[in-house]
């Protein structure tokens, strides 16, 4: 009997609060596998701002595409994307939105991106420590601009979070991150970064790649205001200007 079967037989995977003999929280690891079944997102800090691109992975013609948005507005200067169980993600996104609103009302200023991801990460950590509930099956990517400085954060199931120059969550995340390590440069503009992200998605997805499945939101350093592009609108970012 392999080690995973032994753990299941002995009940170490019945609760998120019980460590297995080799030091694992099995419910947390199961949640991490759920995240990798979710659709992919790429976030990237660029010289002129920050963006997130997400694959909505909606092929059913009966579904209204706009109702399946993967990128959410947290505040005018702050966006987020998720991978994993979308109903879990909705709860975390709404908490982040309320947090941003409360900060504006209290301090009359936009909230720092790290303050949002830290609060969400703290909540996720609680659900790995207390009994009676399962962990959130969600990885959350938050991007925004504060004081003209772009930033990108990602939190995992356990409640850890890190700041990134570029990152990917969801399906094929390791393959995507490997390509980002090879091709990402800090001096990329948003336009060049979007082209790189689409090239990576095209290479990873192969015949399944379809521009209509993608959405993108970005915040520029000098605007602190998010803008969006969906499907065919992304062609404006990858088309080359004609030389006169």
At 226-240, the pLDDT tens digits run 999 998 899 888 765
Collect the ranges in the chain with pLDDT lower than 70: 1-12, 16, 239-244
* pLDDT at 204 (0 to 100): 95
- What are the boundaries of each domain within the chain? 3-238
How is residue 231 annotated by DSSP? G
**pTM given for the model:** 0.89
> What pLDDT is attached to residue 18?
79
Dist. CA 56–CA 41, nearest whole Å: 9
| pLDDT for the residue numbered 129 | 84
Residue-wise pLDDT tens digits, 88-108: 999 999 999 999 999 999 999
Tell me the DSSP string of 49-114: EEEEEEE-----TTS-GGGG--EEEEETTEEEEEEE-HHHHHHHHHHHHHHHHHHHHHHSSPPPHH
C-alpha dihedral (176, 62, 218, 80), degrees to nearest 10: -70
**Strand 41-46 vs strand 49-55: parallel, antiparallel, or unpaired?**
antiparallel
Residue 152 three-state SS: strand
Cβ neighbours around 120 below 10 Å, total: 25
**Tokens 């979308």 found at:** 86
Shortest CA distance to 17 belongs to which of 132, 104, 124? 132
CATH 3.60.20.10 fits 3-238, yes or no: yes
pLDDT at 3: 63
Residue 240 pLDDT: 58
């Amino acid at each position: 009997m392999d080690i995973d079967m032994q753990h299941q037989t002995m009940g170490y995977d019945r609760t998120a609060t019980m460590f297995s003999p080799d030091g694992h929280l099995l419910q947390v690891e199961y949640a991490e596998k759920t995240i990798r079944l979710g659709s992919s997102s790429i976030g990237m800090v660029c010289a002129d701002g920050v963006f997130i691109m997400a694959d909505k992975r909606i092929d059913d013609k009966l579904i209204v595409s706009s109702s399946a948005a993967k990128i959410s507005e947290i505040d005018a200067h702050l966006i987020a994307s998720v991978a994993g169980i979308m109903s879990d993600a909705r709860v975390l996104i709404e908490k982040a939105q309320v947090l941003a609103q409360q900060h504006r009302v209290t301090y009359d200023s936009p909230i720092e991106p790290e303050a949002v991801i830290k609060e969400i990460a703290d909540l996720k950590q609680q659900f790995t420590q207390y009994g009676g509930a399962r962990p959130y099956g969600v990885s959350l990517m938050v991007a925004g601009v504060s004081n003209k400085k772009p930033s990108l954060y990602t939190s995992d199931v356990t409640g850890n979070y890190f700041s990134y120059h570029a990152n990917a969550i969801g399906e094929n995340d390791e393959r995507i991150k490997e390509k980002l390590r090879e091709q990402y440069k800090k001096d990329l503009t948003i336009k060049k970064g979007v082209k790189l992200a689409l090239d990576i998605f095209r290479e990873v997805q192969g015949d399944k790649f379809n521009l209509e499945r993608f959405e993108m939101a970005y915040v520029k350093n000098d605007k602190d205001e998010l803008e969006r592009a969906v499907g065919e609108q992304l062609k404006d970012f990858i088309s080359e200007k004609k030389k006169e």
